[in-house]
Amino acid sequence: MPKKLKKCKDCKTYTLKDICKKCESQTTNAHYKFVRIRDVQKSK
């Protein structure tokens, strides 16, 4: 299973670990969640 990319909120660096290597703060998931939009007319 591939590891998920994480981002530090404080120093804005990316890592694969749960704790940032630079500032030693907690990291969060760096992947965005896409929201499916309904009821949108399709263009012709």
Each residue's pLDDT tens digit, 1-44: 677 899 999 999 999 999 999 999 999 998 777 767 776 666 65
pTM of this structure? 0.60
Write the Ramachandran bin of 10: left for phi over 0, alpha for psi from -120 to 50, otherwise beta. Answer: alpha
